[in-house]
Amino acid sequence: MTPALTLQVTASDGHRFELLHVAAATASPRHLLWLPALGVSARHYLPLAHALAQRGCSVTLHEWRGHGSSKLRASRRQDWGFAQLLATDLPAAVACLNAHGMPVDTLGGHSLGGQLACCFASQIPGLQRLWLVAAGSPHWASFRPPQRYWLPLAYTLLPGLACLLGHLPGRRLGFGGREARRLVADWARVGRTGRYRIPAQVQQDMAGLDLGCIAVCLEDDWMAPASSLKALRAWIPGCRHQTAMLTAAQLGVAANHFAWIRHPAAIAEALL
């Protein structure tokens, strides 16, 4: 198994974090930048990176601000939102990879990572592919009952709790990790309205994307059902969409939002 290379990154605001890079087992120009789910550290996706690398795709795992190798932790004094992730950290990661001679031609992500991949894709020159796994819009209207009945309440209570405590204690709640107030507020706003708080030019760039987009849905994943994926893809209508729906039998584990992370072979095959 190819060991992961650690790349040190310093963003424009001084935030320091690491990227984990796994080179393809055979010479290949394909290079994926992978964005994790909310509250999940980059290292948890190493099985996916190795599975893809064995199949000829190099992978770099991004680290979200506040988790894993990130030198920041959410608190009353340390706060950030989608703007810092999209306009500060991701450009720094791409610049680091370019500096090391590893340009990105494929961008992908899991859950929140898939959402932000759609938002950021237009910012990577030469990008060819977009890969989404268990990703969809959190907008309450894109879910079926019973989720669509209680989600609006969650989108009100969670930002309020984060504001009260200075951060969201996601580990204790069973949702996400230690999350920043503005990040929770930005995510909840999408859940309530279906709209991202991003510049109008970015929205126009998303609508004009012309990429091959492969999405993998998991049969028993209530957190990102096919209906929420449809709502997310409405933001990138110009892409050429393909969808694979995987069952527990195909995965070898439960077909839910997270179980596949430790057993990603079927996911890797579907993406490739």
Residue 44 lies in a domain: yes
DSSP 186-244: HHHHHHHHS-----HHHHHHHHT---EEEEEEETT-TTS-HHHHHHHHTT-TTSEEEEE
Mean pLDDT throughout 2-23? Answer: 95
The tally of domains found in the chain comes to 1
Looking up residue 105, the CATH number of its domain turns out to be 3.40.50.1820
Residue 77 lies in a domain: yes
Residue 26, judged by CB atoms within 10 A of its CB (0-12, 13-18, 19+), counts as exposed
Percent of the chain at pLDDT exceeding 90: 93
* pLDDT confidence of residue 29: 78
Residue 26 lies in a domain: yes
Residue 251 lies in a domain: yes
pLDDT for 161-195, tens place per residue? Answer: 999 999 999 999 988 999 999 999 999 999 999 99
Residue 116: give the domain boundaries: 5-144+200-271
Residue 159 lies in a domain: no
Residue 203 clears pLDDT 80, i.e. is over it: yes
- Return all residues near 87 (Cβ < 8 A) that are at least 6 apart: none
* pLDDT confidence of residue 254: 98
Residue 162 lies in a domain: no
* pLDDT confidence of residue 50: 97
* pLDDT confidence of residue 197: 82
Residue 160 lies in a domain: no
Residue 28 clears pLDDT 90, i.e. is over it: no
Residue 178 lies in a domain: no
